[in-house]
Structure 1
Amino acid sequence: MTNARPWLAQYPSGIPSEINVDEFPSIVSVLDAAIANYRDRPAFSNLGKTLTYGDIDRLSAQFAAYLLGELKLKKGDRVAIMMPNCLQYPIATFGILRAGLTVVNTNPMYTARELRHQLVDSGASVVLVMDNFGHTVQEVLADTQVKQVITTGLGDMLAFPKGPIVNFVLKYVKKMVPDYDIPGAIRFRDALTLGQMHSLPDVDIEASDIAFLQYTGGTTGVAKGAMLTHRNLVANMQQAAAWVGGNIKMGEEIIVTALPLYHIFALTANGLVFMKFGGLNYMITNPRDMPAFVKELKGVPFTAITGVNTLFNGLLNTPGFDEIDFSRLHLTLGGGMAVQRSVAERWKQVTGNTLVEAYGLTETSPAACINPMTLEEYNGAIGLPIPSTDACIKDENGNPLPQGEVGELCIKGPQVMKGYWQRPEETAAVIDVDGWLHTGDMARMDEKGFFYVVDRKKDMILVSGFNVYPNEIEDVIAMMPGVLEVAAVGVPDEKSGEAVKVVIVKKDPSLTAEQVKAHARENLTGYKQPKIVEFRKELPKTNVGKILRRELRDETAPH
Structure 2
Amino acid sequence: MGGARRTRLYDVLDAAARDAPDAPALSVDGTTWTFRELRRRTDALSAHLAARCSSGARVALLAHNRPEYVAAYYGVPLDGRILVPLNQRLHPREWADQIVRSGAELAIGESDLLDRLAAEGEFPAGRPPLAAVEDIPWDAPATPHRETATDSGVAWLMFTSGTTGRPKGVRLTHKSLLAGIDVSASGRPVRPGDVFLTPFPLCHVAGYQVMLHHLYRRHAVVLRRFDAAALVEATRRHGVTSLSLAPTMLEDLLAHVEADPAAREALRSSLRVISYGSAPMPVPLLRRVGDVLGCDLNQGFGMTELSGNATFLSPADHRTAIASRPELAASAGRPGDGVEIAVIGADGTTPLPPGTLGEVVVKGAQVTPGYWDDPDATAEAFTAGGWFRTGDVGRIDADGYLYLVDRLKDVIITGGENVSSREVEDVLRAVPGVAEVAVIGLPDPRWGQSVCAVIVPDGAPPDGAELIAACRARLAGFKAPRRIEFADALPRTGTGKIRKSALRAQLSEGRPEGRPEGRPEGRPT
TM range (shorter): 0.7 to 0.9
> Which of 259, 262, 268 is 2:208 aligned to?
268
Residue 488 of structure 1 deviates from its aligned partner by 11
CA deviations on 1:7-60 (whole Å, 9 max, x unpaired) are xxxxxxxxxxxx999931121112211111121100111222210000011111
Q: Counterpart in 2 of 1:44? A: 26
In structure 1, what is the Cα distance between the partners aligned to 2:508 and 2:355?
A: 40
- The equivalences for 1:64-103 within 5 A come to 64-69=46-51, 71=52, 73-103=53-83
Q: Counterpart in 1 of 2:336? A: 386
Structure 2: segments with no counterpart, 5+ residues:
322-328, 412-420, 423-437, 444-448, 459-484, 511-517
TM-aligned CA distance change 1:293 to 1:217, over 3 Å: closer
CA deviations on 1:36-95 (whole Å, 9 max, x unpaired) are 1121100111222210000011111011100002x1x22221111112211121122222
Alignment of 1:237 onto 2:237 = no
TM-aligned CA distance change 1:531 to 1:389, over 3 Å: closer
In structure 2, what is the Cα distance between the partners aligned to 1:535 and 1:54?
A: 53
TM-aligned CA distance change 1:535 to 1:44, over 3 Å: closer
CA deviations on 1:377-404 (whole Å, 9 max, x unpaired) are 2522100011111111111112111101
Asked if structure 1 preserves the Cα contact closer than 8 Å seen for 2:65 and 2:202, the reply is yes
Alignment of 1:258 onto 2:202 = no
Residue 533 of structure 1 deviates from its aligned partner by 6.8
Residue 144 of structure 1 deviates from its aligned partner by 6.1
Asked if structure 1 preserves the Cα contact closer than 8 Å seen for 2:395 and 2:404, the reply is yes
- The equivalences for 1:435-450 within 5 A come to 435-450=386-401
In structure 2, what is the Cα distance between the partners aligned to 1:214 and 1:490?
A: 31
> Which of 273, 276, 281 is 1:339 aligned to?
281
Residue 314 of structure 1 deviates from its aligned partner by 1.1
Alignment of 1:279 onto 2:225 = no
TM-aligned CA distance change 1:556 to 1:25, over 3 Å: farther
TM-aligned CA distance change 1:219 to 1:92, over 3 Å: closer
What residue identity is the alignment partner of 1:277? Y
The secondary structure found in structure 2 opposite 1:262 is coil
Q: Counterpart in 2 of 1:406? A: 357
Asked if structure 2 preserves the Cα contact closer than 8 Å seen for 1:21 and 1:234, the reply is no
Residue 489 of structure 1 deviates from its aligned partner by 6.6
Residue 290 of structure 1 deviates from its aligned partner by 3.0
> Which of 299, 311, 317 is 2:237 aligned to?
299
What residue identity is the alignment partner of 1:248? R
Instruction: Give the total of aligned pairs.
Output: 440
What residue identity is the alignment partner of 2:211? L
In structure 1, what is the Cα distance between the partners aligned to 2:49 and 2:439?
A: 35
Residue 337 of structure 1 deviates from its aligned partner by 3.2
The secondary structure found in structure 1 opposite 2:188 is helix
- The equivalences for 1:51-70 within 5 A come to 51-69=33-51
Alignment of 1:188 onto 2:135 = yes
Asked if structure 1 preserves the Cα contact closer than 8 Å seen for 2:297 and 2:315, the reply is no
What residue identity is the alignment partner of 1:215? F
Alignment of 1:360 onto 2:302 = yes
The secondary structure found in structure 2 opposite 1:401 is coil
Q: Counterpart in 2 of 1:329? A: 271
Asked if structure 1 preserves the Cα contact closer than 8 Å seen for 2:151 and 2:174, the reply is yes
**TM-score, normalised to structure 2's length?**
0.75
Residue 447 of structure 1 deviates from its aligned partner by 0.9
Q: Counterpart in 1 of 2:467? A: none
> Which of 298, 311, 316 is 1:369 aligned to?
311
In structure 2, what is the Cα distance between the partners aligned to 1:81 and 1:324?
A: 35
Asked if structure 1 preserves the Cα contact closer than 8 Å seen for 2:10 and 2:74, the reply is yes
Asked if structure 2 preserves the Cα contact closer than 8 Å seen for 1:116 and 1:143, the reply is no
What residue identity is the alignment partner of 1:24? R
Residue 407 of structure 1 deviates from its aligned partner by 0.9
CA deviations on 1:240-275 (whole Å, 9 max, x unpaired) are 113322x610xx32111211121112x122x11101
> Which of 90, 96, 99 is 1:119 aligned to?
99
In structure 1, what is the Cα distance between the partners aligned to 2:197 and 2:291?
A: 20
What residue identity is the alignment partner of 2:208? T
Residue 105 of structure 1 deviates from its aligned partner by 1.2
Asked if structure 1 preserves the Cα contact closer than 8 Å seen for 2:184 and 2:336, the reply is yes
> Which of 233, 245, 250 is 1:312 aligned to?
250
TM-aligned CA distance change 1:199 to 1:536, over 3 Å: closer
- The equivalences for 1:458-537 within 5 A come to 458-459=409-410, 491=454, 493=456
> Which of 15, 34, 37 is 1:33 aligned to?
15
TM-aligned CA distance change 1:394 to 1:494, over 3 Å: farther
Residue 494 of structure 1 deviates from its aligned partner by 7.6
Residue 341 of structure 1 deviates from its aligned partner by 3.6
Asked if structure 2 preserves the Cα contact closer than 8 Å seen for 1:105 and 1:213, the reply is yes
What residue identity is the alignment partner of 1:268? Y
In structure 1, what is the Cα distance between the partners aligned to 2:508 and 2:31?
A: 51
**TM-score, normalised to structure 1's length?**
0.71
> Which of 292, 298, 305 is 1:350 aligned to?
292
Q: Counterpart in 1 of 2:171? A: 227
Asked if structure 1 preserves the Cα contact closer than 8 Å seen for 2:198 and 2:221, the reply is yes
In structure 2, what is the Cα distance between the partners aligned to 1:526 and 1:386?
A: 22
Asked if structure 1 preserves the Cα contact closer than 8 Å seen for 2:114 and 2:130, the reply is no
CA deviations on 1:258-317 (whole Å, 9 max, x unpaired) are 11121112x122x11101011111111021x33333344333311111111111111111
Asked if structure 2 preserves the Cα contact closer than 8 Å seen for 1:46 and 1:86, the reply is yes
TM-aligned CA distance change 1:117 to 1:21, over 3 Å: farther
In structure 2, what is the Cα distance between the partners aligned to 1:372 and 1:100?
A: 36
In structure 2, what is the Cα distance between the partners aligned to 1:66 and 1:491?
A: 49
CA deviations on 1:96-140 (whole Å, 9 max, x unpaired) are 122321111111111022112211111111112123423331122
Stretch moving more, 112-121 or 232-241: 112-121
In structure 1, what is the Cα distance between the partners aligned to 2:90 and 2:65?
A: 16
In structure 1, what is the Cα distance between the partners aligned to 2:362 and 2:25?
A: 33
In structure 2, what is the Cα distance between the partners aligned to 1:224 and 1:310?
A: 26
> Which of 131, 135, 139 is 2:111 aligned to?
131
Residue 199 of structure 1 deviates from its aligned partner by 3.7
Asked if structure 1 preserves the Cα contact closer than 8 Å seen for 2:305 and 2:367, the reply is yes
TM-aligned CA distance change 1:410 to 1:22, over 3 Å: farther
TM-aligned CA distance change 1:78 to 1:290, over 3 Å: same
Q: Counterpart in 2 of 1:5? A: none
Residue 147 of structure 1 deviates from its aligned partner by 3.1
The secondary structure found in structure 2 opposite 1:387 is coil
Q: Counterpart in 1 of 2:87? A: 107
- The equivalences for 1:167-206 within 5 A come to 187-189=134-136, 191-192=137-138, 196=141, 199-206=143-150
Q: Counterpart in 2 of 1:453? A: 404
In structure 2, what is the Cα distance between the partners aligned to 1:52 and 1:430?
A: 40
What residue identity is the alignment partner of 1:358? G
In structure 2, what is the Cα distance between the partners aligned to 1:202 and 1:535?
A: 51
In structure 1, what is the Cα distance between the partners aligned to 2:168 and 2:292?
A: 40
Stretch moving more, 291-300 or 309-318: 291-300
CA deviations on 1:318-337 (whole Å, 9 max, x unpaired) are 13342324233223211133
TM-aligned CA distance change 1:372 to 1:149, over 3 Å: same
In structure 2, what is the Cα distance between the partners aligned to 1:65 and 1:535?
A: 49
Q: With a CA cutoff of 8 Å and minimum separation of 6, indicate the structure with the bigger relative contact order.
A: 1
Asked if structure 1 preserves the Cα contact closer than 8 Å seen for 2:155 and 2:173, the reply is yes
